[in-house]
Amino acid sequence: MARIWHADERIAWPTERRCAADESCDPAAELARFGRLKTLRSLLQRLVTQHGGQGASAPPLAFERWLARAALHRAAGADPVLPAAAGVDAQLVADLSRSLPRDKAVVIAEALSARSRDDAARQAAVFSDAAVEVPAAAKRLVKAVRRAGKPLPSDAAAWAALATAAEALAAHARSRAEVRPTYTVAVDRDGPNVRLAAMDGDATKKPYVLISKDHYAKLATLHARYGAGDPDARIFCVVTRYEALRGAGFQCAVPGACFESLREVLGNTIECFASPLNCRYERYFSAFPGLERSFGSLGSFFDEWETIEEGSFEVNPPFVPEVLAFAAAKIGELLEDEAKGPLSFLAVVPDWGGGASAAQKLRESPFLRAHVTIPAADHVFVDGAQHRVRDRHRPSSWDTAVLLLQNSAGCAKWSLDTKTLARVVRASFRRAANEAAPEGAEDLQAWEKRGPGRGGKKRPRSAPPKRREM
C-alpha cells in the first residue's frame, strides 16, 4: 500500500498551541450533529420535490457548497458545521434556480436556512457548556431589573442585553425536553478496517464509522504528539464529522508523489486546507481546529492567515468558487505585506476558465512566478474518502491549474521557473495516475461505477455485475 503520510518529517511552527483550551470532544454531540445534517439534506430534497414535482432533485453537491460558503462567515462560538447566520444564501438560490423558478428557489432556501438556525440553537442548548450558564445569567438580569423597581431601560445596550437574555431563556426552554447524553467509544480492530462506535452503556448507537488501519494508526500517532485525553473518542469525532459533511470530492488531496517531488525544490510545504485524514505532513491548517489541534492542526487558514510570517505552503481548497476566491484574496494580501519573510504558495485549483475563476485571478497576480495546466485525463487526486475505501485515487473532473506565487524573498529562496514546475508536476501527477490505474481509476465515469466494496455506489438490483475482461 502507498504511504499515506510522511510520519518521520517533523515540522516546527513558531506558535505552538495545544488542544486543551479548544473544542471539547463529545461523541454524543457529533452523533447529534450528524443526525441534524442528515435531516437537513432530506429536507432540501423533500422541498425540491414538493415545489418541483415528482422526479425533481437538488443540484449535485448544492448542499455541500452551501455548508462551505456558510463556513466563510461563521461567527465566533457558532456551531462548527450547522449554518446559523440570518438571511438566505444567494448562491444556494442560484443553484436551485437552475431547475426551479426563482421564487420557489427562494422559498426553499429560506426554509432550509430557518431549520438550520433552529437546529444550531438546539445543538448548542443541549451540548454547549457555555449555553448551560447563559440561562442562569439571564434570570439574574431579569430579577435585578424587577428588584430595582425602575422602568425598563431605554438605552440600546441594555435592550440588547435583555433581548439576549430572552433568547437564551427561550433556547433553554426548548432544550428542557432533550437530555444531554454521555457516550463512550468502543473500538473493534477485527477485519480489514477499524470500527468505532459510540456506546450508551451496553447499547451501540448508530451510525458507527469505519477507518482503515493505516489511517487509524496515523491519527493515533498524531494524537500522541499533539493531543490529550482519550484518543479513540477524538478519532471517532473527527471521522464522524467528515462523514456528516459528505462531499468527499471537496476533501481531495494532492497525491503524495507530488509532495515528494516538490519537496526537492520547495521544501516541506504546509497544507493550507487539509485534515487529519488527508494531511501529508504532521502540521497543516484545517477546517475544524477546535477538534483537530489534537492531531497537529495549526488552526483554520482563514482565521490564522495573518499570523503567517514566512514559509512554503500548498493551497488546495475545496473547489467551491467562493472559497477559492477567498483563498486567492488572502494569498495576495500576504504577499503584498513587505514586512513578511520569504513566502511561497503553490496553488492547486480547477482551471474552469472565464475571467472570474480563481485560476485566472491568480494568473493575473504580480507575484506569479510559474504556472502549468494539467489536463483532466492526465492526473488524479487522493479521494476525500481515502480513509475508508480501497481505491485511494479519484480521477480529476476537470483540468487543474498549478500556480506558484512568491514574494521577492520567497522567489530567491525557492527559485522555480515554469519549465521546471511543468516538468516536476506533470511527471509526479503522471506517476500517481499510473499507480492508481490498477485500482480502476481509468476515468471519472468508470470510477463512479465501482461496486460498494470498493467505495463506489450500489448498483441497481436489476443490473448484473460487470465482468472484468481478462
Which domains, from first to last, does the chain contain?
27-175 (no CATH), 248-454 (3.40.50)
pTM: 0.84
Cell of 162: 435583555
User: What's the pLDDT score for residue 443?
Assistant: 53
In degrees to the nearest 10, what's the CA dihedral of 414, 420, 424, 430?
150
User: What's the pLDDT score for residue 11?
Assistant: 79
Q: What are phi and psi of 371, to 5 degrees?
A: -160, 155
Residue range 311-316: mean pLDDT, rounded: 97
User: What's the pLDDT score for residue 463?
Assistant: 45
**Distance, CA of 28 to chain centre:** 20
User: What's the pLDDT score for residue 437?
Assistant: 60
Q: At 119, is the secondary structure helix, strand, or coil?
A: helix
Compute the residue count for the chain: 470
Residue range 306-330: mean pLDDT, rounded: 96
Residue range 28-43: mean pLDDT, rounded: 97
Element (DSSP H or E) covering residue 163:
helix 156-175
CA distances from 177 to 127, 170, 189, 313 (A): 13, 13, 37, 48
Residue range 270-284: mean pLDDT, rounded: 96
Q: What is the mean pLDDT of the chain?
A: 85
User: DSSP readout, 179-229?
Assistant: -----EEEEE--SSEEEEEEEETTEEEEEEEEEEHHHHHHHHHHHHHH--S
Statement: residue 318 has pLDDT above 70: yes
The strand pair at 270-274 and 311-315 is best described as parallel
Give the pLDDT band (50/70/90) at residue 129. low
User: What's the pLDDT score for residue 186?
Assistant: 97
User: What's the pLDDT score for residue 469?
Assistant: 37
Residue-wise pLDDT for 152-169, tens only, equals 455 556 656 666 666 666
Give the pLDDT band (50/70/90) at residue 77. confident
Statement: residue 426 has pLDDT above 60: yes
Residue with cell 492526465: 378
| Cα end-to-end distance, the chain, whole Å | 23
Of 50-54, 147-151, 244-248, 351-355, give the lowest mean pLDDT range.
Answer: 147-151
Of 69-83, 112-126, 416-430, 451-465, give the lowest mean pLDDT range.
Answer: 451-465
**Distance, CA of 142 to chain centre:** 41
Burial 241-262 (b: 16+ CB within 10 A, else e): bbbbbbbbbbbbbbbbbbbebb
Residue range 264-279: mean pLDDT, rounded: 95
Cell of 141: 438580569
Give the pLDDT band (50/70/90) at residue 452. very low
User: What's the pLDDT score for residue 180?
Assistant: 81
Considering the chain, what percentage of its residues have pLDDT values greater than 90?
67
Q: At 45, is the secondary structure helix, strand, or coil?
A: helix
Interatomic CA distance for residues 122 and 153, integer angstroms: 29
User: What's the pLDDT score for residue 462?
Assistant: 43
Return the closest-CA partner of residue 385 out of 222, 246, 233: 246
Q: At 129, is the secondary structure helix, strand, or coil?
A: helix
Statement: residue 174 has pLDDT above 60: no
Residue range 106-135: mean pLDDT, rounded: 82
Interatomic CA distance for residues 294 and 280, integer angstroms: 16
User: DSSP readout, 334-351?
Assistant: HHH-TTS--EEEEEEEE-
Return the closest-CA partner of residue 67 out of 38, 24, 25: 38
Cell of 209: 464509522
User: What's the pLDDT score for residue 424?
Assistant: 94
Residue range 95-122: mean pLDDT, rounded: 95
Residue-wise pLDDT for 362-393, tens only, equals 999 999 999 999 999 899 999 999 998 877 88
More confident residue, 248 or 470: 248
Interatomic CA distance for residues 340 and 126, integer angstroms: 44
The strand pair at 203-212 and 193-200 is best described as antiparallel
Statement: residue 218 has pLDDT above 70: yes
User: What's the pLDDT score for residue 453?
Assistant: 44
Statement: residue 144 has pLDDT above 70: no
- The one-character DSSP state at 364 is T
Statement: residue 37 has pLDDT above 70: yes
User: What's the pLDDT score for residue 50?
Assistant: 94
Q: For CA atoms 391, 206, 178, 141, give the dihedral sign.
A: negative
Can you name the residues that pair with 271 across neighbouring β-strands? 284, 314
Question: In sequence order, which ranges of 277-417 are alpha helices (DSSP H)?
Answer: 289-292, 301-304, 321-336, 358-363, 408-413
Residues 269 and 284: beta-carbon distance below 8 Å: no
Interatomic CA distance for residues 375 and 371, integer angstroms: 13
Residues 80 and 23: beta-carbon distance below 8 Å: yes
Residue-wise pLDDT for 394-412, tens only, equals 889 899 999 999 999 999 9
Give the pLDDT band (50/70/90) at residue 248. confident
User: What's the pLDDT score for residue 1?
Assistant: 45
Give the pLDDT band (50/70/90) at residue 8. confident
Give the pLDDT band (50/70/90) at residue 19. very low
